[in-house]
Amino acid sequence: MNFQRLKSYLDTAPSMRLFQARNVAYVVCFLQRQFKKARSISIPHSELLPALATFREEMQELDREALRDKPEAYLADWCEQCWLRRVLEAGRNEPVYQLTPHSEEVISFLDRALSQDLGFVGTESRLRTVIRLLDELVIGASSDPAVHLERLHRDQAVIAQEIERIEREGIVKPYGPTRIREQFGTAVDLLKQLQGDFRAVEDQFKAITLRVQQRHAEGVGSRGGILGDALDAEDALKREDQGISFFEFLRFIQSPIQQDRLHVIIQELLQIEELASQTAGMETVRRMVSVLLAEAEKVAQTTRRLSGTLRRLLDSRIQSERRRTAELLRQIRGLAATLNEAPPRDTVALEVDAEVGLSGPFSRTDWSPPTEFEQLDLTDHTPDEDAKLDAFRMYAALRPIDWIGIRRRIDDALVQHERLTLGKLVAERHPTARVVDVVGYLETAREQEHLIDRAATEEVLLLPREEDERSLLVTVPLVTFVRRGAEAWS
């Protein structure tokens, strides 16, 4: 470890400034709650500001001296300290905030430190992972076919022996509870680190984009030189270890086959009894696919922005068209000034020739799987007998619609009247009707094809009952019951 490099990092790194800040506990707690715990990549200003105000009130109940400044001041300071990134995304009318790699480092470090203090360190699981990775590295780095064949034959022999033993004894040796929880914890830790690594990849893409835009805006160098530097930088990033790993990850996570496989694995993990108490880790794993896809899409947006910058540099026609447009506008202003005293009397028209817009392949968003409903397993659900009994009592107390009585009242009324409205029928034949009876009359009128005018309405008065002294005035479409064979029935 080089001393000068170490000292420079400790003196200048934003992550070190965060560790040394007076309010470091409040800053890390708030950022972890809003971004990591809520699994948010970008948060709009209108959401983060009131969330910080609420968090500030909560902390001041514990310590009156905590976070004494205004929430707006803290957000501005955190952006200036490079703990938050404030950007204006396309399609939004307000800025959004994102975590920087520096704050990701601090949150990840403290999360691992607290996990070791509050639980156990999975030494066996980590050692097995290290040995497996090193063993795969030794085999994979070799170009000798004999080395690969020896490894495959050895694995084949071990698998064949295990199959024979299980078929003979009918007994398997499952992992113990400790190893299950230990290996699961290791996987969750790696997953959290993976989510934080996206910030570093995205920052490299953004650095390329910013450098290209600055050189283009300042006019430094020729167009070919700027374009060459940009293409070289983008190509270099894709050739670097981090870039190669990211693009391979992108192809892997966007594969529908791999996504289905991960979903199956997650569903099987939910059935393991030893992991029932690992609620936080299980929630992290359960949302793994959606979170990783969102993180990858965020980095891909940065790539598309860089691609757009390169397209603008490539399209030299835009510059000539802008100059031509400016010249035409100057000519129009000159002609308008000369004709100001004697404007033309003929019709003046303006014809606009709009060209077809072109877009590059990177302007399209990445494919994402269709939304799927989550299937909940209720086999272990214990019903509340009291609630179930109350529900049955409420169901039994419901008053059914007397369809036979409703049809009989309509027929009896039409014997004396050629036509009458629903309000008059209820007042004359059914003074004790309720709202559910009105619904029955409406449905019967529709079935028997009586006259229903939905453009007009009628108020039906429902008289009070013994258990309710209030009268009800119900507004319904104008329904007219008409005797069949009457002249107006047509």
d(CA 263, CA 270): 11
- Predicted confidence (pLDDT) per residue in 198-253, tens digit: 766 777 766 766 666 666 566 555 556 655 655 555 565 566 566 677 777 778 87
Q: How would residue 422 be classed by pLDDT, with cut points 50, 70 and 90?
A: very high
- Predicted confidence (pLDDT) per residue in 361-413, tens digit: 556 666 666 777 766 666 666 667 777 788 878 877 777 888 889 999 998 89
Amino acid at 410: I
Q: Output DSSP code: residue 359.
A: -
The string over 69-101, giving b where at least 16 C-beta atoms fall within 10 Å of a residue's C-beta and e elsewhere, is eebeebbeebbebbbbbeeeeeeeeebbbbbbb
Number of H helices, E strands in the chain: 19, 6
Q: Which tokens sit at 437?
A: 């009876």
Instruction: Determine contact, residues 433/462, Cβ cutoff 8 Å.
Output: yes
Of the candidates 31, 34, 45, the one whose C-alpha atom is nearest the C-alpha of residue 92 is 45
3-state secondary structure (DSSP) of residue 268: helix
Burial bucket for residue 209 (CB in 10 Å: 0-12, 13-18, 19+): buried
* Per-domain boundaries in the chain: 12-117, 131-172, 174-326, 404-489
Q: What class is the 12-117 domain?
A: mainly alpha
Q: In whole numbers, what is the pLDDT of the chain averaged over residues?
A: 79
DSSP secondary structure letters along 315-337: -HHHHHHHHHHHHHHHHHHHHHH
Instruction: Determine contact, residues 443/482, Cβ cutoff 8 Å.
Output: no
Q: Give the Cα-Cα-Cα angle 323, 326, 331 (nearest 5 degrees).
A: 125
The model carries a pTM of 0.46
